[in-house]
Amino acid sequence: MNLTLFDLDNTLLNGDSDFEWSQFLIRIGILERELFELKNQTFYDQYKAGTLDIQEFLDFQLKPLSRHSRKTLDVWHQQFMAENILPIITPSARDLVGQHLAAGDVCVIITATNSFVTYPIAREFGIEHLIATEPEHLCGEFTGRVADVPCFREGKITRLNNWLAARNWTLESFAQSTFYSDSLNDLPLLCKVSNPVAVNPDETLHAYAIQHNWAIMSLRA
């Protein structure tokens, strides 16, 4: 039995769902463009550079969830999926996931983006298991705070180990563990699996992958 882990943003998606969600809320008039667009771009640039303060970003990203009912958010998310997400899912990404599912691998999307945004995306790929940053909720509504360890950098290792332990597994339970990612932020977890794959890699990850003879691929074709 093999374990296959997929990063989501700029890996399975030809774009970033975190960034796109905020841009969507700006476009439909929920967030003020002048106030939020620059901050959204700044956080995205920091993420790509490996300098993101995850707590500061989560405060920015999760607060809007607390200002609206879950029913309203779910309606907006359906529109978001149709207009922002489906156009950035490439056939190559669908094919890659399909190959691993057909092989009987345990497939998991593991992402820093919160589970409200990413759960429907995982379902679109046919992937049952999602490890994501968890927004805190109370009586079915979001509080604007984060629950559990953010699924970011070393936090991905913590969250994965907890997920595996809940099923009486470790990484060593699998004949092979594969992780597909584009980002330098995922180097800690990429170094833990038996088969790291750099997908559409940023400059830092690309250089590291070449140095360590990791596979490099693109899903953008």
Where in the sequence numbering do the catalytic residues fall?
7, 9
Question: What Rg, from alpha-carbon coordinates, does the chain have?
Answer: 17
Tokens representing 100 are 């691993």
Burial zone of 68 (CB within 10 Å; 0-12 exposed, 13-18 middle, 19+ buried): middle
Tokens representing 88 are 């950035």
Cβ-contact 108, 129 below 8 angstroms: yes
CA angle 8, 13, 17 (to 5 degrees): 70
DSSP lists the bridge partners of residue 217 as 199
Query: Could you give the C-alpha distances from 116 to 61, 152, 196, in angstroms and in order?
Result: 11, 16, 27
